[in-house]
Amino acid sequence: MLMLEERAELVKYGKKLVEAGLTSGTGGNLSIYNRETNLVAVTPSGVDYFDTKLEDIVITDIDGKVVEGDKKPTSELSFHLGLYKSRADVNAVVHTHSVYATTIACMGLELPAVHYMVAFSGNKVPLAPYATFGTQELADSVAENIGDYNAVLLANHGLVTVSGNLPTAFSAAEEIEFVARIYCQAKSFGQPNILPDDEMAKVVEKFKWYGQKK
C-alpha cells in the first residue's frame, strides 16, 4: 500500500476536521504531497470521515492520475494539485467549511489582522473570487490569490490553508477560524481595531520560532 503513513494521517485529521467544528458531513478535504515520490494522498469524495479507512484514501500523481485506490478523489483535487505545483513550500492542504471563516467569505471580505493569530496566514487572509467548486477556474483562483500567504478565503465557499505538513496546516485552519469568529463578533459592536502591517511583520517573524522546533 503506497503512502501508508500519509493515509493514516489523513484518516486521523479527517475526524479532527469534524470534531473541531471546521466542517460538517462530508464537506471539506485534505491532502498530503510527498515530493520524493511525486505522489499525492487525498481524501475520497463524499465519504464520511468517521467511515474512512486507509484503503479509501486515493493516491494520485501530481497531474491527478489515480495511481492507487478504487474511490473517486475529492472534487477539489485540482486546487490541491495547483497549490503543490505553484508553491514549493507546500506539502499539505486543508479545505474547510468552517462557519465564521465562511461567513466572512460570503460577505466578500478579506480577514484582516483583528488578532495577531492571523499570522498563521500572514498579515491577513486574502479572498479568492467565487468560482464553481471542482473547476479549473477555482483551482486557478486559489493558486493566484493565496500568493505567499498560508490561507485564503474562497468567496461563498470556505477556507483553504497550506503548510509544509498536515498538522501545521490543520492548526492554521483552527486558528484562522478563531480569528474569523473574533472579527465577526467585534464587527457586531462596531469597527474593530486592526493591527498595522509593521506589527504583523514582527509577529510573523516570531512565529517562525514558535513552538518546539527540531
Which H, E and C letters describe the chain, residue by residue?
Answer: CCCHHHHHHHHHHHHHHHHCCCCCCCCCEEEEEECCCCEEEECECCCCCCCCCHHHCEEEECCCCEEECCCCECCCHHHHHHHHHHCCCCCEEEEECCHHHHHHHHCCCCECCCCHHHHHCCCCECEECCCCCCCHHHHHHHHHHHCCCCEEEECCCEEEEEECCHHHHHHHHHHHHHHHHHHHHHHHHCCCCCCCHHHHHHHHHHHCCCCCCC
Q: How far is CA 125 from the centre of its chain?
A: 12
Q: Is residue 212 scored above 90 in pLDDT?
A: no
Averaged pLDDT of the chain: 96
Burial class (CB within 10 angstroms; exposed 0-12, middle 13-18, buried 19+) of 53 = exposed
pLDDT at residue 136 greater than cutoff 60: yes
Q: How far apart are CA 162 and CA 208, in angstroms?
A: 15
What is the average per-residue pLDDT within 131-147? 96
Using a CB cutoff of 8 Å and minimum separation of 24, what contacts does 211-214 make? Answer: none
- Name residue 111's beta-bridge partners: 125
Given a contact cutoff of 8 angstroms between Cβ atoms, the answer to whether 13 and 32 are in contact is: no
Q: What single letter denotes the amino acid at residue 82?
A: G
CATH says 8-21+76-207 is which class? Answer: alpha beta
**Residue 76 designated active-site:** yes
- Please report which confidence band the pLDDT of residue 207 belongs to, taking 50, 70 and 90 as the band edges: confident
Q: What is the pTM of this model?
A: 0.95
Q: What is the domain partition of the chain in residue ranges?
A: 8-21+76-207
Give how far Cα 148 sits from Cα of 143, 206, 213, Å: 10, 17, 22
Quick: pLDDT tens for 148-186: 999 999 999 999 999 999 999 999 999 999 999 999 999
The grid coordinates of residue 202 equal: 514582527
Is the model's pLDDT at 141 over the cut of 90? yes
Does the structure show a pLDDT above 90 at 208?
A: no
pLDDT at position 108, please?
97
Instruction: Determine which one of 76, 174, 175, 177 is catalytic.
Output: 76
Residue range 122-139: mean pLDDT, rounded? 96
